[in-house]
Structure 1
Amino acid sequence: MTSKQRVVVVCPGRGTYNKPELGYLGRYHSDKTALLETIDAYRRDQGQPSVVELDSAERYSMATHTAGEHASALIYACAAGDFADIDRDQYEIVAVTGNSMGWYIALATAGALSPASGIDVINTMGSMMKDGVIGGQLIYPVCNADWHLDSQHLRTLQQAMREVNADAAHQVYVSIRLGGYWVIAGNDSGLKALEKVLPRIDDTYPMRLHNHAAFHSPLLAEVSEKGRAALPASGFNPPQIPMVDGRGHIWQPHATDTQALWDYTLGHQVVETYDFTRAIAVSIKEFAPDKLIVLGPGATLGGAIAQTLIQHRWWELGQKSDFIARQKTDPVVLAMGIPEQRALATGKPAD
């Protein structure tokens, strides 16, 4: 009998349900009736459109599908459905982690939140700014074309942030460390000033992230307070699978203080930097997986994960071309949003 491969599952964050993903639930998860009904019954009670309705829309709407109160639930439904589809005869899930909003999804997939509590947390936090987004985010590379960390890019970004923050009217913060990129959160004046100071790279960066708030920064202190008031600690349970958070801290099934888990999730995780790079580094070093499986929708985290693997020369990956070559012959990162890689994760033929 062939032994199972060990896998770390990575949960996606905001910005992963885009125009190509329209219909994702219908394509892959129409059979997940209990999951979808739990989510949509909750949303009906909130007076919100169902995720099935949003997913089956005739056209993708940037204004509708990227709004936090809709995007969060949509992405959760897609990711939770994908998690259920992982072939358990082939893979042993040894840990779960996630990027940004993906931490909430990690809590749900690992069993730290029940299905009902999962949609409550995700929908509540995703809907916090439906009446107005607080601040924004932009992304900037700190790596070169080979996906090695570029110390000059990093120094330039850090110096630019210091210059911008010297003006009391401006606020910019490191929001997410995302492999070879940093996501910067800030108020509008701060981000505009930063965009003027930073050198353009590849005629693309710095790039604003549409409909994204100043996540993982002190600007969301009020959101943190509202989240604590709306979501009781009693909804949190010890996980059934180890979880790696945005500090690289591991929450173990038999050693989790649920009050501390609630406090981190609605406190530090909301207002401090989310270090996805460290989460991946800890995941590979502490759990020694054979592969990483990235839940859909989309497949945008593959690059950030690969850049982190290269930083640590994991699986003898030394540069971008090594990762691309490895993915063609013996893939170590399976993104379920890519049909061919989905087939490897689920054990079912690609569409």
Structure 2
Amino acid sequence: MKEKILVVCPGRGTYNATELGYLKRYHGGGGAQVARLDSYRAGLGQPTISALDGAEKYSTSLHMPGDNASLLIYACALADFAAIDRDRFDVVAVTGNSMGWYLALACAGVVDFDAGAQLVNTMGGLMHEKGQGGQVVWSMSDADWHIDPVKVAEVEAVLAEASRDGRAVHVSIRLGAMVVFAADDDGMKWLMERLPKDDRFPMKLNYHAAFHSPLLDHIVPLAHAANPVADFGEGMIPAIDGTGRVWSPKGFDAEGIYDYTLGTQINRTYDFTRAVQVAAREFCPDRIAVLGPGTTLGAPVAQALIACGWRGLKGKADFQQRQVADPILVSMGMAEQRGVITG
């Protein structure tokens, strides 16, 4: 009997210096799919995916902006998805973080590979050219990856204070035991000064706009104009969005998922925590696979699972112990784990 797996797709910021050469290292350069992406990008006068992945050195000014990073991450993630051994594993559902929703649509078959590429590349370009503000990450976790009620109260206090003072500060993403704020430039500066500090947080995300907040209301009509509804279909695998809604194959109309993807998903909070929890509870996977590139989503996924007690998970130490012998969470961005589910 095949094992059931839930697939989680990565968002922006997951292709960093350590991921340089990801396609070459794990997928022999990417084959025909990457060749199609290269042709598409070359036709637009953009650096090709092969050139970006095959660069001699990683450059933040080249690899990190959305107009380049988005499709590069798409190429890596979709290649990882194709590498899952379907003789041993049944993908029962897909979800993703932020931009990972677009990738989840492609994995689920709601959009085909080429339409998914156009969606990702177009939205990456729009955010790069028309986006405003930025994002700041802050941790609400205690040492054992539980959400600390005191820190939750601090987040609520920060939001209340910002609202009272008329600052443009919003919750962008609920990310496991972390929260991602979206803000305009003034709000970004205020958050970096106002939020309690430790050795890592608050963390400003470079080259990120104020995703999933009203600060991007102006992007919605541009996104509709640039992406045709005809690209969206009925899907083949259930997909869980950033509100926790399950879009089951043939159980929705194309206009509905199109409007969410290019509407609410852009300018309202993305609850990745809820998406993971709903997917895990509703589809009861044997394992959860996080597509590459990068490994930064592993902790938020585990924290979301701990928060809902999935399969009796009690905390970080418990999770790490279970990972040793037979990992329940497989990060395909980790060389030592990807072989668990690849052919």
Q: What is residue 208 of structure 1 aligned with on the other side?
A: 204
Task: Provide Cα deviations, 1:236-272, integer angstroms capped at 9, x if missing partner.
Answer: 0111101000011011112121000100000000000
C-alpha displacement of 1:132: 5.8
Partner AA of 2:316 in structure 1:
K
From 268, 271, 276, the counterpart of 1:275? 271
Match of 1:106 in 2: 104
| Partners of 1:33 and 1:197 in 2: CA distance | 48
Q: Secondary structure of the residue that 2:319 maps to in structure 1?
A: helix
**Which whole-Å CA distance do the structure 2 matches of 1:132 and 1:276 have between them?**
24
Query: What is aligned with 1:128?
Result: 126
Match of 1:320 in 2: 316
Aligned equivalent of 2:173: 176
Offset at 1:133? 4.3
Mapped pair 1:293 → 2:289: yes
Find 1:231's aligned residue among 227, 230, 236. Answer: 227
- Asked if the contact 1:133/1:211 (under 8 Å) is kept, the reply is no
Instruction: Using the TM superposition, give the Cα deviation of residue 312 of structure 1 relative to its aligned residue in structure 2, in angstroms.
Output: 1.4
Within the alignment, does 1:167 sit opposite 2:165 as a pair? Answer: yes
CA contact (8 A) 2:29 2:50 kept: no
1:143-170 Cα deviation digits (max 9, x unpaired)? 21111111110111111122123223x2
**2:130–2:219 Cα contact (<8 Å) kept:** no
Does structure 2 conserve the Cα–Cα contact (< 8 Å) formed by 1:173 and 1:186?
yes
1:57 Cα deviation from its structure 2 partner: 0.4
Letter in 2 for 1:334: V
SS at match of 1:95: strand
Instruction: With the length of structure 1 as denominator, give the TM-score of the two structures.
Output: 0.96
User: Aligned letter for 1:238?
Assistant: E
2:333 to 310, 326, 337: 337
Q: Distance in 2 between matches of 1:268 and 1:326?
A: 37
SS in 2 for 1:344: coil
**Contact preservation (8 Å) 1:247, 1:278:** yes
Q: Distance in 1 between matches of 2:331 and 2:274?
A: 20
Describe the shift of the 1:282–1:180 C-alpha distance in structure 2 as closer, same or farther (beyond 3 A): same
Letter matched to residue 176 of structure 1: I
Output the amino acid matched with 2:112.
Answer: S
Offset, 1:31:
6.0
- How many angstroms apart in 2 are the aligned matches of 1:316 and 1:136? 37
Q: Per-residue displacement from partner, 1:195-227 (whole Å, max 9, x unpaired)?
A: 222211x32211101111100001111111100
Structure 1 unaligned segments of length 5 or more: list them.
none
SS of equivalent residue, structure 2 residue 126: coil
Over the aligned positions, Cα root-mean-square deviation in angstroms equals 1.1
Contact 1:310–1:319 under 8 Å retained in 2: yes
1:176 counterpart SS class: strand
1:191 is aligned to 188
- C-alpha distance in 2, partners of 1:31/1:72? 17
Q: What is aligned with 2:255? A: 259
Q: Tell me the amino acid that sits aligned with residue 210 of structure 1.
A: N
Q: Which secondary structure state, in structure 2, belongs to the residue aligned with residue 174 of structure 1?
A: strand
Write the distance in 2 (CA, Å) between the matches of 1:216 and 1:132: 14
Q: Indicate the SS of the match to 1:345.
A: coil
How far does residue 63 in structure 1 lie from its aligned partner after superposition?
Answer: 1.0
* Conserved? CA contact 1:164–1:194, under 8 Å: no
* Counterpart Cα distance in 2 of 1:284 and 1:171: 34
**Structure 1 counterpart of 2:168, which letter?**
Q
Q: Which residue of 2 aligns with 1:58?
A: 56
Per the alignment, residue 19 of structure 1 pairs with: 17
Supply the distance in 1 between the matched residues of 2:37 and 2:236 (Cα, whole angstroms).
21
Q: Counterparts of 2:261 and 2:131 in 1: how far apart (Å)?
A: 20
SS in structure 2 at match of 1:127: helix
SS at match of 1:128: helix
Q: What residue identity is the alignment partner of 2:327?
A: P
Aligned to 2:217: 221
Question: For the residues of structure 2 that align with 1:20 and 1:164, how far apart are their CA atoms?
Answer: 37
Question: Contact 2:131 / 2:219 at 8 angstroms: preserved in 1?
Answer: no
> Which consecutive aligned stretches of 4+ in structure 1 deviate over 6 angstroms post-superposition?
none
User: 70, 84, 87: which is aligned to 1:86?
Assistant: 84
Q: How many pairs are equivalent?
A: 343
Instruction: Give the structure 2 partner of residue 76 of structure 1.
Output: 74
Cα deviation digits, residues 110-159 of structure 1 (max 9, x gap): 11111221111000000013336410000011121111111110111111
2:224 partner letter: R
State the distance in 2 between where 1:133 and 1:100 align: 15
